[in-house]
Structure 1
Amino acid sequence: MNRLIKKVAVLGSGVMGSRIACHFANIGLEVLLLDIVPKDAPADDPKARNKIVNDALAFALKSNPSPIYSKKFASRIRTGNFDDDLHLIKDCDWVIEVVIERLDIKKQVFANVEQHRKPGSLITSNTSGIPIHLMAEGRSEDFRKHFCGTHFFNPPRYLKLLEIIPTTDTAEEVISFLMHYGEKYLGKTTVQAKDTPAFIGNRIGVFSMMSLLQYVEQTGMTVEEVDKLTGPVVGRPKSATFRTADVVGIDTLALVANSLVENVPGDEAKASLKVPDFVNKMIENKWLGSKTEQGFFKKVKGEGGKSEIHALDLKTLEYKPSQKVKFAALEATKPVDDLRQRLKMLIAAKDKAGDFYRATLFPLFAYSSNRIPEISDELYKIDDAIKAGYGWELGPFDTWDALGVEATLKAMEAAGNKPAQWVYDMLAAAHTSFYKIENGKRLYYDIPSKSYKVIPGTEEFILLDNIRESQTVWKNSGTTITDIGDGILNLEFHTKMNSIGGEVLEGINKAIDLAEKDYKGLVISNEGANFSAGANVGMIFMMAVEQEYDELDFAIRQFQNTMMRVRYSSIPVVVAPHAMALGGGCEMCLHADKVVAHAESYIGLVEFGVGLIPGGGGTKEFAVRLSDSLIEGDVALNAYRDRFLTIGQAKVSTSAEEAFELGYLRRGLDKVVISQNRLLAEAKAECLELANAGYTQPAHRKDIKVLGKTALGLAYLGANSMLTGNYISEHDVKISQKLGYVLAGGDLSQPTEVNEQYLLDLERQAFLSLTTERKTLERIQSILTGGKVLRN
């Protein structure tokens, strides 16, 4: 059937319910959010009767990070209560239950839902522990056909995992629809799970956490040591193990683990799921993590009132100042950027770190293999769930592949960690890896057929990791140009933080050269953690310190000229950012024919923070966009002030939607994609459409209206007022004046039309002059050495 979702009801407005409602509002749907009526609320007082739901939504909207792309999207959410408003679900296409984790309450909610829902509408439960099939008992056939579990991970906007848990009665059409809808429209990694305790993500994740904690208890490792070993060095979040536990809540972790122990009597590793004694003692002491302001870590006031982080000694249960730790294995792998190569080195290390990795990874590999077919018939689902739910770059089978399946198996056996028989059968059939790449697609090992199959649902994706080896047409030390088909090239960066230096500028120019000669268009995108952190500030700092101003002037010109090539090439250039697109990364977006941005794109011109103004065409482009936005009768100075403050306050969008509001993206032209897996395919399609529509090389602009002295006076007055109020420093005033000068087009006596090169020259001169300032160099040094913005 052709199912459309226009309106969603969310029943329960707690932490999860209110945030799930926000995420559906993010994608443009009408949302009905309901909760219980407070006790003793008068029957004739709607405000009092909706107090619980309204307070919960208000709290969610104020939380940081925000669950909603733009505060104005909150208007898409209508609130109400179960007693007065449940009948409104008759207009909803999908009803999601998110009430308290008690089966009796959930069953009562569903009995009430069945009285009002329209036939054929979807009904799902967001539960992390209650068996899905039990909730549907006693319901009608139509209800049961359209019912299943949809387990969002918290926070729903940011964590990508969505587990779909059908019952034996759930219609195949419903399962297929939710799998597709979750991925394409909600931006999730949707994983179909079996109705087993904790489903997939938490079953494997909790085992990993608890077995690790038991190893720590046995060996006496410190909190700081473990977090050093389980963070970004192995492709996991900065919060690593113990900081993550504090955020999640130590009582919550124990609750899930204890529930698993009770509900998986046949689990061969049941003993490894048990909560260590030190965790139970922490719960007794109410040291539950962030919500009680102490857990494995605690913030205290040190000498002079300065905040310090103390870590828990797991032996004495006393807090001590957090210590920096070092491991020989980690030091040896510092120069190695490739995660898979780094893991090989770490697992082979002969120090304490190597012992830790072997002792924690080998049991994880064995446990994961033994959960097939109990929790999943396919191994890729386990990897997908762990990567999307826990933020790991590589799941258990991904990691095992990276280390070498057969060699690692021997080491596992020697350590007493025997995997499932199917692993031995796979190797006996001469299949040596869990995954492989063929024809640009990633295949997984299918256990029943002993063959490889394409991961379902990925057919529409273009993933550079899958095609880079066979489709690369040119590369240098910092970039790779790949043929992505149909006459479109892709340029990706792979410098540190994808910063933009000489090698990236060379790559951009080369990509445009190749595209103009033999192709239809160019996409600039990558699959790094961030699109780009901006220009190579270290290079700028070194040139400025050495007073190599001619070289620096040349470098700035080269950057500006490259951005102008992006704008004025004879083929369409589409930029597809994700995560951070700062400074030069933002300037690249500003000069593209079209931007296709992932919804979670944090775009901004942040140069003010290092004592500079945007120098790669960013300030010029804001002047151009200011000019284009002015219409007869506008108060031009208001528009000028808004553009000035966006750069002067180094505003960064908290979503792609907010990037429109800040003027980094253009309404009606640039586009937002919710699913990151589809980002490159969508960007390619947009580039191809521009090319096939008869793309015409743009003419250089000579009609940019600048406001001159009138606007410049506003910038000077505003900066001096901020200085008088002690909001900014004297150096901030100097930067503000130079920024204002460029945006105003200089000190022209009246509004005048100028060309882009005129503005680029002003921009470059201002940027160059600021690099001669000692305080600017101090700011750059602070960022380079400590990552901190200095306000001097």
Structure 2
Amino acid sequence: MVKEIKKAAVIGAGVMGSGIAAHMANAGIQVLLLDLPQSGFGQKNRLAEDALEKMKKTDPAPFMSADAAKRITAGNTDSDLDKLAGCDWVVEAIIEKIEYKRDLYEKIEKVVRPGTIVSSNTSTIPMEKLIEGRTVDFKKNFFITHFFNPPRYTRLLEIVSSKESDQESLKTLSDFGDRGLGKGVVHCKDSPGFIANRIGTFWIQKAMVEALTHDISVEEADAIFGRPMGIPKTGVFGLVDLVGLDLIPLVMQSMRQALPTTDPFHTSYKDMPVINKLIEEGYTGRKGKGGFYRLDKKADGTKVKQSVNLRTGEFAPSKKAKVTVLETAKNNLQLLLSSKDRYSEFAWNVLSEVLRYTADIVDEIADNIADIDAAMRLGYNWKFGPFELIDKIGAKWLADRLKTEGRAVPKILEAVGEGTFYKVENGQIHYFDGKGYEKLKRPEGVLLLSDIKLRSKPIAKNASAALWDIGDGVVCLEFISKMNSLDPETMKMIFKAIDIVQKDYKALVVYNEGSNFSAGANLGLALFAMNVALWPLIADIVKGGQDAYKALKYAPFPVISAPSGMALGGGCEILLHSDAVVAHAESYIGLVEVGVGIVPAWGGCKEMLHRSMNNKKRPGGGMVAVGKLFETIGTARVAKSAFEAKELLFLHEEDPIVMNRDRVLATAKAQALSMVEGYKAPEPIVFNLPGGGARVSMNMAVKAMVKLGKASAYDEEVSKKLAYILTGGDDEASTEDEILALEREAFMALVRNPKTHARVESILETGKPLRN
């Protein structure tokens, strides 16, 4: 049996197949990507080669690094099928036609080693039909591995096995999916659509039909089925545009064909002529010229967002949804569903049927409700799974209203009665299994801060940060402000953490479970101070941040930062001052201050100078190193993965990268403990910076960019301040404190400029940088 997956193959170089291959390469293994042979000299591998080249240019990028792309070898199913003998896992991702798949499996079986794992990415064809006629060994090691698009970014991996499946092979596959690919692995039963698409497609279909019935606009529907229910802001129609409008009829048709005629999927279906009309006119969603939403280009070049009328199929300027009940209900989902207007009726008709349908098919699709909720969170990015939504509404309230309307109440909903589907007992989450409560078990090696919070109180807490005891003498510093932005309260907690850990603990981990590690300094506070000319306050904030980060760097114990998502500006700078960083692979790290008309001033320039000038992989001396750093910071470059962050020196080469988000904290804690014995704080840095000559060269380069129209006049002014810091200023700074003083000087000069004010305002109001 395969004990470890070191090499894989993907057959089928379409969007899904090539995306799966790319993410396997992200995991660090060699991948063979095959598709049908093409005619013509040197053209046999063209389908796979074209897919590989396309992915290198795709945004968002399927690859986490340039090195990952090099791990894929393109080939074809005519000449290269025998190379599958060297693979541990073969994924079939070809067209959803069972005869093609069976024919391919027959060929695969002849060339793979005994025990090789083979899987299909199908979501509609039953497993028993796929493996019909295959040998016992093939059946034992065959699985369905259903990835979601795009494979790099969507965390769900549904795995289907059978009674004949080899348990060691299943364990190997599941473990690689979890640790290697970073997926939330959910084991499903072999039913049409498995878990996420069975529920998700029913929800989409029901929502579209009810919107048409109740004359709800696409904007109104997306507003209702968006954030109020913990669903991404795309809502329903925005999600369809994202997935591809042309795929929806195909998906719905395949589900109806796969499900028995008694299934509510059939009774909820209604033909929507507007969809056919849009597709016929070339509106296939975001990948094309638009879908339910489109951008209409006017004569003056400006673009106006438009939306389609579901009844007429005609486009008109999109209007922000004004749904009063959303304002009055706030976060009270029961109140949203109880109001007497058509919006609440729409919300109730859709959500009640989705929840009722899900509750009815639990035993058909999954082993327990926790797996169902996890699948919807991971696959559709819902904040709450269906049973978590029922708990928010109230299980008894839902059952009573269904009874009042004469609708059948699912057995599991009757069984939970006045209780909840989840409860916390002795600091641990338990879920209802239809008869009683079972403890929710985390995979080995998973440590969640949310679980720790259920059984303990913070060591210390203020408005912006908290300290938690995560066991074994390690303390976790958690940011808790909006977007995890950093302010004086954060800095106070850093100093408190240093005192507490020094007295009673061994190490500190900086970590949180927000969508983003930190968006940087609190710009709202900064703008307020700028508007009322509180320059001393701003100077104190800058100096306070420098002092806090420096104290962390030289603390007498290990400090490990563990980011996921964005770590920008001040969020990046705290990483730079840590002994080590354990980064989630999907960490987007950068010093972006120039975008708002300032420079990094919490030690970011200082620490990056040290890394750049001591990087053995970049020959050429101090001038070249500082020039490269000037480009990185001056263009506000952000690493698009933790791997790229190493290339840009935001991370050390030896910093661990963790593929699975849920394993970051445990890995960071282990890293911290491994450094405790014999720990010594780093030695102070002495710099030998290139001086005025390098500064002139940098300034000339920026001036040329301005002439070419690639930078603004104010970009040039900001860049001059950055160059001044990076080259050591007029007095050739050589110590950390001297460079920190240069950072403060440059920052305070720029922050007084009205153009910086305008940039900060633009970011806060629109989220977009202003190039003034």
What range describes the TM-score normalised by the shorter chain of this pair? over 0.9
**Alignment-derived partner of residue 542 in structure 1:** 528
Once the two structures are superposed, the pairs formed by residues 326-475 of structure 1 within 5 Å of their partners are: 326-332=322-328, 341-343=331-333, 346-347=336-337, 352-427=342-417, 432-438=419-425, 440-447=427-434, 450-471=435-456, 472-475=458-461
Between the aligned partners of 1:103 and 1:228, the Cα distance in structure 2 is 40
1:290 alignment partner, SS class: coil
AA of the residue aligned to 1:740: A
Between the aligned partners of 1:388 and 1:234, the Cα distance in structure 2 is 16
Between the aligned partners of 1:788 and 1:478, the Cα distance in structure 2 is 25
418 and 698 in structure 1: CA distance in 2 versus 1, 3 angstrom threshold: farther
**Alignment-derived partner of residue 246 in structure 1:** 241
**Alignment-derived partner of residue 586 in structure 2:** 600
**Alignment-derived partner of residue 777 in structure 1:** 757
Q: Is 1:13 aligned to 2:13, yes or no?
A: yes
Q: Is 1:564 aligned to 2:550, yes or no?
A: yes
Deviation at 1:103, TM superposition (A): 0.5
Between the aligned partners of 1:351 and 1:545, the Cα distance in structure 2 is 44
Deviation at 1:506, TM superposition (A): 2.1
**Alignment-derived partner of residue 101 in structure 2:** 106
- After TM superposition, the structure 1 stretch with the greater mean CA deviation from structure 2, 184-193 or 245-254, is 245-254
Please list the CA deviations of residues 664-708 of structure 1 after superposition, one character each: whole Å capped at 9, or x if unmatched: 11102x1110000111111111111112x222233433x122221
Q: Which runs of 5+ in 2 are unaligned?
A: none
Deviation at 1:217, TM superposition (A): 1.1
Deviation at 1:231, TM superposition (A): 2.6
Q: Is the 8 A contact 1:366 1:417 kept in 2?
A: no
1:263 to 258, 264, 273: 258
Between the aligned partners of 1:332 and 1:569, the Cα distance in structure 2 is 49
Once the two structures are superposed, the pairs formed by residues 196-211 of structure 1 within 5 Å of their partners are: 196-211=191-206
Please list the CA deviations of residues 173-218 of structure 1 after superposition, one character each: whole Å capped at 9, or x if unmatched: 2233322221121111111111111111100001111111111011
**Alignment-derived partner of residue 664 in structure 1:** 650
Q: Is 1:182 aligned to 2:180, yes or no?
A: no
Q: Is 1:768 aligned to 2:748, yes or no?
A: yes
Please list the CA deviations of residues 80-124 of structure 1 after superposition, one character each: whole Å capped at 9, or x if unmatched: 111111001111111111111111110010000011000011010
281 and 732 in structure 1: CA distance in 2 versus 1, 3 angstrom threshold: closer
Between the aligned partners of 2:270 and 2:611, the Cα distance in structure 1 is 60
AA of the residue aligned to 1:735: V
Between the aligned partners of 2:638 and 2:490, the Cα distance in structure 1 is 23
AA of the residue aligned to 2:472: D
Between the aligned partners of 2:504 and 2:342, the Cα distance in structure 1 is 54
**Alignment-derived partner of residue 338 in structure 1:** none
Between the aligned partners of 2:297 and 2:274, the Cα distance in structure 1 is 25
- After TM superposition, the structure 1 stretch with the greater mean CA deviation from structure 2, 539-548 or 26-35, is 539-548
1:492 to 478, 497, 516: 478
**Alignment-derived partner of residue 36 in structure 2:** 36
Deviation at 1:71, TM superposition (A): 1.9
1:162 alignment partner, SS class: strand
1:704 to 677, 687, 702: 687
Q: TM-score, normalised by structure 2?
A: 0.96
535 and 417 in structure 1: CA distance in 2 versus 1, 3 angstrom threshold: farther
**Alignment-derived partner of residue 24 in structure 1:** 24
2:311 alignment partner, SS class: coil
Deviation at 1:342, TM superposition (A): 4.9
Q: Is 1:694 aligned to 2:690, yes or no?
A: no
**Alignment-derived partner of residue 724 in structure 1:** 707
Q: Is the 8 A contact 1:742 1:759 kept in 2?
A: yes
Q: Which runs of 5+ in 1 are unaligned?
A: 335-340
- After TM superposition, the structure 1 stretch with the greater mean CA deviation from structure 2, 346-355 or 586-595, is 346-355
Percent identical pairs in the alignment equals 39
- How many residues get paired? 770
Please list the CA deviations of residues 114-141 of structure 1 after superposition, one character each: whole Å capped at 9, or x if unmatched: 1100001101011121122111111111
Between the aligned partners of 2:544 and 2:50, the Cα distance in structure 1 is 53
Between the aligned partners of 1:293 and 1:633, the Cα distance in structure 2 is 47
Q: Is the 8 A contact 2:646 2:653 kept in 1?
A: yes
2:567 alignment partner, SS class: strand
Between the aligned partners of 1:124 and 1:721, the Cα distance in structure 2 is 55
AA of the residue aligned to 2:28: G
Between the aligned partners of 2:131 and 2:481, the Cα distance in structure 1 is 52
2:719 to 729, 736, 740: 736
1:70 to 60, 65, 68: 65
- After TM superposition, the structure 1 stretch with the greater mean CA deviation from structure 2, 573-582 or 173-182, is 173-182
Q: Is the 8 A contact 1:16 1:155 kept in 2?
A: yes
1:305 alignment partner, SS class: coil
Deviation at 1:54, TM superposition (A): 0.6
Please list the CA deviations of residues 628-653 of structure 1 after superposition, one character each: whole Å capped at 9, or x if unmatched: 33799733221111101111000001
357 and 87 in structure 1: CA distance in 2 versus 1, 3 angstrom threshold: same
Between the aligned partners of 1:290 and 1:775, the Cα distance in structure 2 is 35
631 and 95 in structure 1: CA distance in 2 versus 1, 3 angstrom threshold: closer
AA of the residue aligned to 1:685: A
Cα-Cα RMSD: 2.0
- After TM superposition, the structure 1 stretch with the greater mean CA deviation from structure 2, 168-177 or 245-254, is 168-177
Deviation at 1:348, TM superposition (A): 5.1
Q: Is the 8 A contact 1:522 1:572 kept in 2?
A: yes
Between the aligned partners of 1:326 and 1:16, the Cα distance in structure 2 is 38
AA of the residue aligned to 1:276: M
Please list the CA deviations of residues 536-560 of structure 1 after superposition, one character each: whole Å capped at 9, or x if unmatched: 0111111122111111111111111
Between the aligned partners of 2:15 and 2:712, the Cα distance in structure 1 is 41
- After TM superposition, the structure 1 stretch with the greater mean CA deviation from structure 2, 297-306 or 638-647, is 297-306
AA of the residue aligned to 2:554: Y
**Alignment-derived partner of residue 644 in structure 1:** 630
Between the aligned partners of 2:460 and 2:402, the Cα distance in structure 1 is 41
344 and 582 in structure 1: CA distance in 2 versus 1, 3 angstrom threshold: farther
1:677 alignment partner, SS class: helix
**Alignment-derived partner of residue 662 in structure 2:** 677
